[in-house]
Amino acid sequence: MINRNIVNNNKSYENNINDINNNISNSNNSNNNIKKEKEKELLKKVRQYSILNLEIKKLMSELNIDENILNAYINVSNALMEPNKLLYKKLYCSGIEIYYGEYKDIRKNIKWFPKINYDNCNNCYKCIDFCPKGVYDIEYINKSKKVIVKYPFNCIINCNACSYICCENNAIIFPENKISKIEYKKEKR
C-alpha cells in the first residue's frame, strides 16, 4: 500500500509540476505578447514622430522661420535619427508585424523594399547614412565590406528616395510599381 501511495504521490507531484510549467509557459507567452505589442506601439510612435518632424521642417521652411531656429531644429532632428534607426533594427521582429490599415496587411506581407545590384554598387555607404529606418547595413562578404539590405521590411512603403542619392550607378533597385493603398469609402450619414 505504501508503494502505491508513493507512485500516486509521484504522479500527483509530476502533474503539479507540469501544471506549474504550463502556467509559467502561458504567463511567459502572455508577457511576450504584451511586450511585442508595446514594441509595435513604440515603433508606431517613432514613425509618427518622423512624419511630424518632416512636416514641421517643411512648414518652417515655407514660413521662412529664422534660419538659426530652423538649423537648430534640424540639428536636434538629426541627433535623434541614429537612436531611431537603432530602435527600428533592434525591434525588427515586432516591426514586421505592424498592421498598415491603408494597405490592409501587416508589414512583412507588403513586398516593398530595395535590392542592391552589386555590379553597380561602389559601396559609397550613402544609403546607410540616408535611410531613416536603418534598412541597410554593412557585412563582410569574401573579406570585403559590402552594403546589404539587412532589414528590408523597415523600408517605408513606396519610398525609393535612397535610390536617388545612390552612387549614380543605379545600384539600388525597387519594385517597378508602387503598392496601392486601399481606398476607404466614405459612408453617407
Q: What angle do the packed helices 67-90 and 2-62 form, to 10 degrees?
A: 160
For range 95-107, the mean pLDDT: 94
For range 131-154, the mean pLDDT: 93
Bridge partners, residue 138, by sequence: 147
**Residue that wins the pLDDT comparison between 2 and 79:** 79
Q: Please give the pLDDT value at position 4.
A: 56
CA 178 vs CA 21, 29, 160: distances in Å: 48, 37, 10
Q: Which amino acid is at 49?
A: Y
The angle formed by the CA atoms of residues 172, 175 and 106, to the nearest 5 degrees, is 110
- For residues 188 and 27, give the distance between their C-alpha atoms in angstroms, rounded to a whole number: 45
Q: What is the DSSP string of 90-143?
A: HTHHHHTT-EETTTTEEGGGS----EE-TTT-----HHHHH-TT--EEEEEETT
Half-sphere exposure in the Cβ direction for 97 (13 Å, CA): 13
CB 172 within 8 A of CB 127: yes
User: In the chain, what percentage of residues exceed pLDDT 70?
Assistant: 81
Q: Would strands 99-100 and 105-106 be described as parallel, antiparallel, or unpaired? A: antiparallel
Residue linked to cell 550613402: 126
Closest CA to 114 of 31, 39, 172: 172
H or E segment to which residue 172 belongs: strand 172-173
Residue 27 has pLDDT above 60, yes or no: no
For range 39-64, the mean pLDDT: 91
Return mean pLDDT, the chain: 85
For range 140-158, the mean pLDDT: 93
For range 21-46, the mean pLDDT: 81
Residue 173 has pLDDT above 50, yes or no: yes
The angle formed by the CA atoms of residues 96, 101 and 106, to the nearest 5 degrees, is 20
Q: Please give the pLDDT value at position 186.
A: 47
- For residues 151 and 113, give the distance between their C-alpha atoms in angstroms, rounded to a whole number: 9
Pick from 36-40, 123-127, 167-171: least confident: 167-171
Q: pLDDT tens for residues 110-139?
A: 999 999 999 999 989 999 999 999 999 999
Q: How confident is the model at residue 16 (pLDDT cuts 50, 70, 90)?
A: low
Residue linked to cell 531644429: 73
SS3 label, residue 56: helix
